[in-house]
C-alpha cells in the first residue's frame, strides 16, 4: 500500500503543472476509450450482475449496479459537460502589491491526491475520475465490492486513455478490498483528502479512523419551517415540492415545523395536501390535538401520533415528521439541534423573520420561500457536482470543481528580503491589484 500511495502521490505532484489542453484531451480520449471498449465493459458488468443476483442483492441495488448502454451514454454526456467547463486551477483569486516589484498572488491549484470511496455504482467511478482529471488531482478509488469486475475494466480503460494524452502513470489507483481502505486512512503523508460517499454509518466510520481530512456528506435531515405569517398557498406548494419532488434525495425535507398560529388556521389544509400526495405523517401531540378539533376532515389524513422525542429522522421516503413550534426562536433552535446542517427553508412574509432565519440557521444552504430541493450543484450553476458537503470546513453544500481545488500563495520579487522591512528601511504598501 505504501508504495502504491507513494507513486500516486508522485503522480499528484506531476499533475500540478498540467495545461488545460492536456486535461481536456485526456477527457476526450477517456470518452473515446469507453465508447470503443463498450462490449468489454458490458461483459464485466454482466459478471458482476450475475454474481450479485446469485448473492440475492435487492432489486434497487441491482439497478444501481447495472452499467448498460443508457448509463454509458449518461457518463459520456457527463464527460462532455466537464470538458466544456473552465479549468478550476490556475485562477488568480487575489493579488496584492506588497512593495515595488513585490507581487503576491493567491492562485487556485489542485489539492493533490484524493481518495474517493463510494458504494456500488460503476458510473460514479467514471464521473469521479473525470472530475479528478479536470481539477488536476490524482485519485485513489474504491467502489463497492459487488462492482469489482466493472470497476476494474473501467479503471483500466480510463487510466490508460489518460496516460496516452499526457497524464502521469499512477494518476488513477484502484483499490479492490475494504482492508485496503483501512490501511489507506493512516497515510496522511501521501493522501490529502478523503471523500467518502455512502451511508451515514459508513461516513462516520471513515471519519473516526482517518488521519486524513474527510470531506463528506453524512445525512440530509432537511426542514421546512412555516412561520405564522406564511401564505398558506405558498406554504403548501413549497412543502409539497420539498417532500415529494424526489423523496429519496438528501435534500428532500424530512421534518415540517409549523408555527402554532399558522397551524390553528391552516395545518389541516397543509397536511391534507401532503396526505393526498401520498405522504405518511408522523405528527407531534400538539398537532394531533389541532387536527382532532376538526374530526370530519381527518378521515382522509394518513397520520399517526409521534410519541418519541427523536426528531433527527431521515426517512428518504414518502413520510414526514410534523411538529408545532411556538416561535421563530424555537424553530431555529430545533433545526440547529436536530438537523444535519444540510438545507433548511423558511416560508414567511416578514423579511425580518427571514433574515434572522437565514443568519441563525447553521446549515450549508438556508432558504427563504424556496424548496429545499434546489440544493444541487447544477441548479446552483456550479457546472459539475462533486457532491454535497455537510462538513463546515473547506467546502460546504453543493460542491463544484472548486471543491477539489485549494490555493497557494505565489510571491515574485527581484531580491526582496525581510530585513529591509524589519530595519524600517522599506515599508509595505499592500495595494490590492485586480486579480488577473
Please report how close the Cβ of residue 413 comes to a copy of itself at its closest, in angstroms.
4
Question: Contact between 245 and a copy of itself (CB under 8 A)?
Answer: yes
Place of cell 410534523: 322
| Least Å from the CB of residue 419 to a copy of itself | 5
152 binds a copy of itself (CB under 8 A): no
> Using CB under 8 A, which residues numbered 157 to 196 contact a copy of itself?
188, 192-193
- E strands, 266-313, are 280-283, 303-305
Q: List the interface residues with a copy of itself, window 288-307 (CB under 8 A).
A: none
Give the separation between CA 372 and CA 361, rounded to whole angstroms.
Answer: 14
Q: Which stretch binds a copy of itself (CB under 8 A): 152-160, 174-182, 238-246, 305-313?
A: 238-246
Pick 14 or 286: Cβ nearer a copy of itself? 14
Task: Report the site for a copy of itself in 337-356 (rule: CB under 8 A).
Answer: 354, 356
Options 24, 120, 151, 363; binder of a copy of itself; rule CB under 8 A: 363
Beta bridge partners, 174, equal 141
Region near a copy of itself per CB under 8 A, out of 9-17, 159-167, 175-183, 259-267: 9-17
Helices (H), 277-338: 285-292, 328-338
Among 327, 359, 433, 435, binds a copy of itself (CB under 8 A): 359
**Options 1, 4, 7, 16; binder of a copy of itself; rule CB under 8 A:** 16
DSSP state of 399: E
Minimum Å distance from CB 252 to a copy of itself? 10
Site map (CB under 8 A) of a copy of itself, residues 58-97, x = contact: --------------------------------------x-
Among 125, 271, 366, 386, binds a copy of itself (CB under 8 A): 366
Cβ density class 30-39: b for 16+ within 10 Å, e for less: bbebbeebbe
Considering the complex, state which of residue 277 and residue 305 has its C-beta at the smaller distance from a copy of itself.
277
Among positions 199, 409, 433, 435, the unique one binding a copy of itself when judged by CB under 8 A: 409
The 8-class DSSP code of residue 1 comes to -
Per CB under 8 A, 365 contacts a copy of itself: yes
d(CA 141, CA 137): 12
C-alpha angle 283/286/291, rounded to 5°?
70
Q: What is the DSSP string of 91-128?
A: -EEEEEEEETTEEEEEEEEE-SEEEEE--S-HHHHHHH
Contact flag: residue 394 with a copy of itself (CB under 8 A): yes
Angle at 376 between CA 375 and CA 377, to 5 degrees: 135
Task: Report the C-alpha dihedral over residues 345, 351, 355, 358, rounded to 10 degrees.
Answer: 10
Q: Can you tell me which of 140, 154, 375, 384 binds a copy of itself, judged by CB under 8 A? A: 375
Of residues 255-294, those binding a copy of itself (CB under 8 A): none
- Closest distance to a copy of itself from the beta carbon of 193 (Å): 6
- The set of residues, in sequence order, having a beta carbon less than 8 Å from that of 217 and lying 6+ positions away, is 197, 203, 250, 342, 387, 388, 389, 390
Which residues are registered as beta bridge partners of 172? 139
**Closest C-alpha to 121, from 151, 101, 164:** 151
Amino acid at each position: 500500500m505504501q508504495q502504491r500511495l507513494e507513486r500516486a502521490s508522485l503522480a499528484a505532484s506531476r499533475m500540478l503543472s498540467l495545461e488545460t489542453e492536456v486535461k481536456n484531451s485526456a477527457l476526450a480520449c477517456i470518452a473515446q476509450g469507453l465508447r470503443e471498449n463498450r462490449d468489454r465493459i458490458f461483459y464485466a458488468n454482466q459478471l458482476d450482475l450475475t454474481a450479485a443476483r446469485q448473492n440475492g442483492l435487492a432489486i434497487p441495488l441491482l439497478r444501481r449496479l447495472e452499467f448498460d448502454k443508457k448509463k454509458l451514454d449518461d457518463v459520456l454526456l457527463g464527460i462532455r459537460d466537464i470538458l466544456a467547463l473552465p479549468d478550476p486551477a490556475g485562477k488568480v483569486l487575489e493579488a496584492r502589491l506588497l512593495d515595488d516589484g513585490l507581487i503576491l498572488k493567491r492562485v487556485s491549484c489542485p489539492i493533490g491526491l484524493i481518495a474517493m470511496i463510494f458504494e456500488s455504482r460503476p458510473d460514479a467511478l467514471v464521473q469521479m475520475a473525470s472530475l479528478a482529471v479536470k481539477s488536476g488531482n490524482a485519485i485513489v478509488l474504491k467502489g463497492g465490492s459487488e462492482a469489482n469486475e466493472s470497476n476494474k475494466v473501467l479503471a483500466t480503460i480510463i487510466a490508460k486513455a489518460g496516460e496516452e494524452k499526457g497524464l502521469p502513470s499512477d494518476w488513477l489507483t484502484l483499490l479492490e478490498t475494504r482492508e485496503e481502505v483501512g490501511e489507506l486512512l493512516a497515510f496522511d503523508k501521501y493522501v490529502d483528502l478523503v471523500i467518502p460517499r455512502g451511508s451515514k454509518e459508513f461516513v462516520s466510520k471513515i471519519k473516526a479512523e482517518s488521519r486524513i481530512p474527510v470531506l463528506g456528506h453524512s445525512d440530509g435531515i432537511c426542514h421546512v419551517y412555516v412561520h405564522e405569517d406564511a401564505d398558506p398557498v405558498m406554504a403548501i406548494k413549497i412543502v409539497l415540492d420539498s417532500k415529494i419532488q424526489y423523496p429519496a434525495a438528501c435534500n428532500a425535507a424530512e421534518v415540517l415545523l409549523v408555527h402554532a398560529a399558522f397551524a390553528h388556521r391552516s395545518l389541516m389544509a397543509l397536511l391534507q395536501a401532503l396526505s393526498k400526495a401520498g405522504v405518511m405523517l408522523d405528527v407531534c401531540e400538539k398537532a394531533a390535538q389541532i387536527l382532532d378539533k376538526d374530526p370530519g376532515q381527518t378521515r382522509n389524513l394518513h397520520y399517526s401520533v409521534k410519541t418519541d422525542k427523536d426528531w433527527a429522522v431521515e426517512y428518504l421516503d414518502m413520510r414526514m415528521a410534523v411538529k408545532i413550534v411556538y416561535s421563530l426562536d424555537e424553530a431555529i433552535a430545533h433545526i440547529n439541534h436536530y438537523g444535519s446542517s444540510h438545507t433548511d427553508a423558511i416560508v414567511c412574509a416578514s423579511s425580518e423573520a427571514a433574515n434572522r432565519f437565514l443568519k441563525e440557521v447553521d446549515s450549508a444552504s438556508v432558504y427563504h420561500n424556496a424548496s429545499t430541493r434546489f440544493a444541487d450543484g447544477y441548479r446552483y450553476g456550479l457546472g459539475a457536482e462533486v457532491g454535497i458537503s455537510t462538513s463546515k470546513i473547506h467546502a460546504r453544500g453543493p460542491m463544484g470543481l472548486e471543491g477539489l481545488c485549494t490555493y497557494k500563495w505565489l510571491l515574485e520579487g527581484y531580491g526582496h528580503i525581510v530585513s529591509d522591512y524589519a530595519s524600517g528601511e522599506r515599508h509595505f504598501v499592500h495595494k490590492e491589484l485586480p486579480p488577473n
